[in-house]
Structure 1
Amino acid sequence: MDDALIIGGTRFIGRHLVDELLDAEYDVTLFNRGTRENPFADHNRVDHYTGDRTSGAALKEANEAVEPDLVVDCVAYYPGEVKLAVEAFEDVEAYVYVSSGAVYEPDVIPKREGETPLEPCSGEQAVDDSHESYGPRKAEGDRIVFEAAENGVNAMSVRPTIVYGPHDYTGRYQYWVDRISEYDRVLVPGDGTNIHHLVSVYNTVRAIRAVGENGTPGEAYNAGDHRVLTLQDLLEETAEAVGTDPEFVEVNDRELATAGLESTEFPLYNPDVHVLSTAKLADIGWEPLSPREAIERTVAWSGEPERDPGPDRETEEQVLDSL
């Protein structure tokens, strides 16, 4: 493959994907509305095609103009958008839909492709924009990809779990980097042993390229860091990368309630264990970075995320002072 079209490409996963594909000698075209700053505007191997991804006609026009070998859909959040894309790019060598680890029904450890049931998606959920419908919407997108493959489209799916790394606009991991960098005492919900499988953006884009080049049409591939970290492991690795040695203060729900807080308000905390099997991805040549290297690269980023999740420091200190 020589030419790649990325639907999206300027914010987080897409931005890193451009670098990954350029390193692999692709020429890249970004397809988006052009409403965000393009970090690759001056790059001689990155073009931009302006269009609305919710328009089937615009997608088909982009396909005809660019003639891509590989299409990666980073910003399909509704099943209808996936349906438009697989129709518009039915003739490409590979269409890769960026789905999510949230597609699976809960209470299975680990979650495996083709084995763990997917979330159902009602007609109402398919057009809803709430957080609660995100997993069902992505799951329905997967089912559209599978159906398209049955009809001869070279469509595949990648299911990353929560992604962290430079340019992450959600601020979820950056919350912990900031606390560890700035304070001697860091409030940790629970006992630190909760597990929500994460994946670095570097491993995510490596997964996307591996699936685009070596994946099987009609298949989905989980993407998560090769080593699964507990929350405490993540914080300790982060502290080592930052170069600080804070005290991690573990607190239960009763102690948090003294300041009106709940454990689930803390980014990356999940009371339910969430782990994805990545064996299928490894079988097609995926070579992930270690969490340590990915974390070191992430904490070195000096940018600011768009969002600021988690409790404010003043409220956290109310809990710390009460202990």
Structure 2
Amino acid sequence: MDTALVVGGTRFIGRHTVEELLNHDYEVTLFNRGNHANPFSDAEDVDHVEGDRDDRTALEAAALSVAPDVVIDCVAYFPEQVRIATEVFSDARYVYVSSGSAYGREEVPKREGATPLCECTPERATEDSPETYGPRKAEGDRAVREAAARGVEAMSVRPCVVYGPYDYTERLDYWIDRVRTHDRVVVPGDGQHLWHRAYVEDVASALRVVAERGDPGEAYNAGDRRLTTLEESLELIADVADTTVEIVHAGERELAAAGLSSGDFTLYRDYPHVMSTAKLAALGWDSTRIEEAMARTVAEHEGSERDGSEHDPGREAEERLLGVLDTV
């Protein structure tokens, strides 16, 4: 039986990754600070090593005590963290959770090795801000390639926007809540734009597959094999929630009249963000049927307290907009 160390492992991608590894007969150990509730605290087959991933001595102690065959790094947000981890876990197959945000040019689709990555200056590499997230992830990918050149079996997985059960970002929860609680939902533009998403269980399986079969130094995009527009996604949510919804389109002029803009709506993106997943599929990976993925996501949402309210542009403003559109 192989041994896996998951850096992180208690919240979203990490939580599903632990379950994926357990389902494939791995012995799993979590390495984290213990700041979040551990869903595996009562599991006899999951060990826990407490430590700060920025403490190299703690990482080295974990490497020595666990001697992992596989390391899945879910919480590396700065390139220096990746460099240190690939040194400490040089005897393991190391998988870095990167991001589709690492791509530095808009093109459809974005392909590994073809679409340029974001540039990352030394200042950006240490600055914790939304603007530097993509550059930092890209520099982490470069650190993986550098490690592979030294003989380390290190790989990257680049998910696009991840959704699914236990999503603490609540981005899709906002839209699920809107569809479940209102019969009319405002969607910016014509609803036909594409922002590639990845079901979280598929990201977890991608991490395992790349750990087992990936080529050192390579990066692999992860995302739903079938894409849906925002409008199609809301219709799918309505179907699996056994409800109906009227989708009301609004352009920038109409939105502005109500004090809104398209940027106020989560998961809206004017230019398509689409990533090729052929390279990952060539390893034998596949994604869950989109209908099944959404059904599981909505079912877990209904039993949670998440409503995506932090992404809410303001229902009162939407109601004003709907009133204006009804008179046009």
- TM-score normalized by structure 1? 0.98
The superposition leaves residues 20-66 of structure 1 with CA deviations (integer Å, 9 ceiling, x where unpaired) of 11111111110000111111000011010000001111111100011
Hey, what does 2:61 align to over in structure 1? 61
CA separation of 1:305 and 1:141: change in aligned 2, threshold 3 A: farther
What percentage of residue pairs aligned between the two structures are identical?
55
* Map 1:260-275 → 2, pairs under 5 A: 260-275=259-274
Query: Is 2:98 the partner of 1:99?
Result: yes
Question: Residue 46 of structure 1 aligns to which amino acid in structure 2?
Answer: V
Hey, what does 1:195 align to over in structure 2? 194
Question: Residue 130 of structure 1 aligns to which amino acid in structure 2?
Answer: S
Gapped regions of structure 2 (runs ≥ 5) = none
Question: Residue 299 of structure 1 aligns to which amino acid in structure 2?
Answer: V
* Map 1:53-202 → 2, pairs under 5 A: 53-92=53-92, 94-202=93-201
Contact preservation (8 Å) 1:187, 1:248: yes
Contact preservation (8 Å) 1:189, 1:250: yes
Contact preservation (8 Å) 1:166, 1:303: no
Hey, what does 1:318 align to over in structure 2? 320
Distance 2:15 2:307 in 1: 15
The superposition leaves residues 238-293 of structure 1 with CA deviations (integer Å, 9 ceiling, x where unpaired) of 11111111100010111111221110111110011110000000000102101111
Output the aligned Cα RMSD.
1.1
Contact preservation (8 Å) 1:102, 1:161: yes
CA deviation after TM superposition for structure 1 residue 306, in Å:
8.9
How many corresponding residue pairs? 322
The superposition leaves residues 146-181 of structure 1 with CA deviations (integer Å, 9 ceiling, x where unpaired) of 000000001000000000001111110000000000
Distance 1:306 1:188 in 2: 17
Hey, what does 1:211 align to over in structure 2? 210
CA deviation after TM superposition for structure 1 residue 305, in Å:
3.9
Hey, what does 1:240 align to over in structure 2? 239
Which range moves more in the overlay, 280-289 or 303-312?
A: 303-312
Gapped regions of structure 1 (runs ≥ 5) = none
Distance 2:10 2:173 in 1: 19
SS in 1 for 2:60: helix
The superposition leaves residues 194-223 of structure 1 with CA deviations (integer Å, 9 ceiling, x where unpaired) of 111001101111111110111011000000
Contact preservation (8 Å) 2:180, 2:243: yes
The superposition leaves residues 219-246 of structure 1 with CA deviations (integer Å, 9 ceiling, x where unpaired) of 0000010001111111111111111111
- TM-score normalized by structure 2? 0.96
